Structure 1
Amino acid sequence: MIRDTIKAAQISAMKAGDKPRLAAVRLILAKLKDKDIELRTASAVPDDDVLVTDVLQKMAKQRRESITLYEQGGRQELADVEKAELAVIEEFLPQQMGEDDVKAAIAALIAETGAAGMKDMGRVVAALKAKHGTQLDMSKASGLVKAALSA
């Protein structure tokens, strides 16, 4: 389980005295705890690895956006902190699908769902997220779906 790997990384970072890595791992664990608390009242709780991957993907997306904004604002020292956190977060994410694999999966789902045009985009994106949600960045994937349906 990914959560166990993250907890082990926290312990090893403590033993090694790696404060920046420890801070990033603790941040991840805090977000996971927040999500766990949020889901206490939910009727259906997703699989733990799916939950952890979802939280990590959101955190990675936030870091990428922050890096871009800090670099545009000329705050390289803050961008470097965000990059270090992003590197730690990405260590725990499952291996992402390559662009060619994503395009092949999209083509298969378009054929499978019988999608004909842009009006079917939501159905294709939902099917793609259900099958491959943990293995791809949905923001990039939705652009690829749009391109495939408009072609």
Structure 2
Amino acid sequence: MNYSELQDEIKTAMKTKDKVRLSILRQLHGELKNIEVNERRDVTEKDVDDMLKRLIKQTKETLDGSIKAGNDQQRTDTLTEQVAILEGYLPEQVSGDALIALIDQVLAETGASTKKDMGRVMGALTQATGGNFDKAAAAKELGAKLS
């Protein structure tokens, strides 16, 4: 998603009166606006993806805290919906057979053979996918392949 698409999504949420979507998209827009103002540069698609990931992480942490504190169900439902909305805007993550094939390719390219090389392989996977892969599944698969 790029910055102009985000602005279009905000307009659509306003027209449909989707308060939950509008709230979280405005929060995302505000964070991106801070980048424009503070760093005096245009927002890139990578900035949007990075901010989406950061906002998802923050919202999930708030959700976990809300569940543990036993807050009202409405707040918990709203936070759950916001996480789902934000995750819908992320690029599709590499997983399953595609991830296994990519891991095999990276292992061949890097020549990694021991668990000491795991960080280097994960770094190469991150670079190859832009960070859009199932990290837990990749770590599990790598653990099985490396001795």
Cα offsets for 1:23-53 (capped at 9, x unmatched): 1110111122234445448xxx9x9222211
Alpha carbons of structure 1 residues 24 and 102: separation in structure 2 relative to 1, 3 Å:
same
Matched ranges for 1:1-150 at <5 A? 1-37=1-37, 39-40=39-40, 48-75=44-71, 76-138=73-135, 140=136, 143-144=139-140, 146-150=142-146
Alpha carbons of structure 1 residues 69 and 145: separation in structure 2 relative to 1, 3 Å:
farther
3-12 or 97-106: bigger deviation:
97-106
Q: What is the rounded CA distance, in whole Å, between the counterparts of 1:103 and 1:121 in structure 2?
A: 15
SS at match of 1:94: coil
Cα offsets for 1:81-132 (capped at 9, x unmatched): 2112112212211122223322221221111100111221221111111110
SS at match of 1:116: coil
122-131 or 59-68: bigger deviation:
59-68
SS at match of 1:96: coil
Alpha carbons of structure 1 residues 70 and 53: separation in structure 2 relative to 1, 3 Å:
same
Alpha-carbon RMSD:
2.7
TM-score (norm 2): 0.80
- Matched pairs, number: 146
Alpha carbons of structure 1 residues 101 and 21: separation in structure 2 relative to 1, 3 Å:
same
Q: What is the rounded CA distance, in whole Å, between the counterparts of 1:52 and 1:134 in structure 2?
A: 13
Work out whether residues 113 and 146 of structure 2, in 8 Å CA contact, stay in contact via their aligned partners in 1: no
Work out whether residues 124 and 145 of structure 1, in 8 Å CA contact, stay in contact via their aligned partners in 2: no
Alpha carbons of structure 1 residues 145 and 133: separation in structure 2 relative to 1, 3 Å:
farther
Identity %: 32
Runs of at least 5 residues in structure 1 that lack an aligned partner in the other structure? none
